[in-house]
């Protein structure tokens, strides 16, 4: 990885801010908008926010874990950072674009690196019709929710909903129900990465549903369209021995 300038950004937690101060004092750095590489200090949530913030610039993001899980992060070490950055391997991600139409007819757009999820907003279960590439695959699913996950996001909410772990290079998306009551035995599907998924909310006025794309939430939706957006390619950097593809594969063998 060739670069000339680096910037540091840190989560608001004390441990991340202290790391930010130490690294800023030790290494030459510039403002994030001027950098060739951004080093993010925090956890996975902060990494997602950093990726969103600099997505259109396509500046590579190298994370060092100062949070809890740190699945998207490298281990924290202040020594030899510039050498690590020079040797880091890039992983390009393709996010999802959500177009959610609310009950007033207003369309809302947002981008998701992990997943687009729908969830019921009341005591009543949601009723959702699922259409894939113009074909209605499920006429009515009664559930708490449903989601479409990218490979990078397949180990997040998708995994907790018992969806499949998807390797980065598989070229598929995960369509996963959340606490489905009917059809009771349906566990989801793997879709081609170029598939267009449309969720139609049945009785949206009586059974309200919200749609979430990473950090953007839209209430009272009646229709949600999800497709991969290949015009955006956020870039993650990993140490060679801890690349994202290997981490996702390894997750399949954890107890």
- From the list 44, 133, 144, 205, the catalytic residue is 44
- 77 pLDDT higher than 90: yes
Confidence (pLDDT) at 68: 79
Contact predicate 201/126, CB 8 Å: yes
Mean pLDDT, residues 109-126 taken together: 97
96-228 topology per CATH: Tumour Suppressor Smad4 (2.60.200)
133 is catalytic: no
pLDDT confidence of 179, banded at 50, 70, 90?
A: very high
How far is the C-alpha of 9 from the C-alpha of 215, rounded, in Å? 19
Total residues belonging to the chain: 255
pLDDT in tens, 191-204: 999 999 999 999 99
State residue 7's pLDDT score. Answer: 98
Take residue 238 and report the two structure tokens written for it.
Answer: 């990993």
- Would the pLDDT of 242 be above 80? no
Strands 61-65, 37-42: parallel, antiparallel or unpaired by DSSP?
parallel
Instruction: Give percent helix, percent strand, percent coil of the chain, each to the nearest 5.
Output: 20, 40, 40
CA distance 121 to 40: 34
The Cα-based distances of 21 to 75, 224, 238 in angstroms read 18, 43, 22
Distance CA 187, CA 176 (A): 7
pLDDT in tens, 7-62: 999 999 999 999 999 999 999 999 999 999 999 999 999 999 999 999 999 999 99
Return left, alpha or beta for 36; rule: phi > 0 is left, psi -120 to 50 is alpha, else beta: alpha
Is 38 within 8 Å of 62 (Cβ atoms)?
A: yes
Residue 83 exposed, middle or buried by CB count within 10 Å (0-12, 13-18, 19+): exposed
Tokens 């390894």 belong to: 250
Cα Rg of the chain (Å, integer) = 20
The lowest-confidence range among 68-77, 106-115, 125-134, 199-208 is: 68-77
Give residue limits of the domains in the chain.
Answer: 6-93+233-251, 96-228
Q: 241-252: b or e for each residue (b if 16 or more CB lie within 10 Å)?
A: eebbbeebeeee
CATH number 3.40.50.700 is the correct assignment for the domain at 6-93+233-251: no
CA–CA separation, 112 and 91 (whole Å): 16
């Amino acid at each position: 990885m060739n670069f000339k300038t680096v910037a540091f950004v840190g989560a608001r937690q004390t441990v991340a801010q202290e790391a930010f101060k130490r690294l800023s004092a030790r290494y030459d750095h510039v403002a994030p908008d001027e950098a060739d590489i951004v080093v993010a200090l925090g956890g996975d949530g902060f990494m997602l926010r950093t990726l969103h913030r600099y997505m259109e610039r396509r500046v590579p993001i190298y994370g060092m874990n100062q949070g809890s899980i740190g699945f998207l992060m490298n281990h924290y070490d202040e020594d030899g950072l510039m050498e690590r950055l020079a040797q880091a391997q890039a992983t390009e991600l393709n996010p999802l674009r959500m177009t959610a139409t609310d009950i007033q007819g207003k369309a809302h757009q947002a981008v998701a690196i992990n997943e687009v999820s729908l969830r019921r907003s009341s005591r009543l279960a949601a009723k959702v019709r699922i259409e894939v590439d113009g074909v209605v695959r499920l006429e009515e699913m009664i559930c708490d929710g449903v989601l479409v996950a990218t490979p990078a996001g397949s180990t997040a909410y998708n995994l907790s909903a018992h969806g499949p772990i998807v390797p980065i290079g598989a070229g598929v998306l995960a369509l996963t129900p959340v606490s489905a009551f009917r059809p009771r035995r349906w566990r989801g599907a793997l879709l081609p990465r170029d598939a267009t998924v449309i969720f139609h909310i049945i009785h949206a006025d009586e059974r309200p549903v919200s749609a979430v794309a990473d950090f953007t939430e839209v209430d009272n939706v009646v229709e949600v369209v999800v497709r991969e957006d290949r015009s955006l390619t956020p870039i993650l950097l990993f140490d060679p021995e801890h690349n994202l593809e290997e981490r996702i594969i390894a997750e399949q063998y954890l107890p």
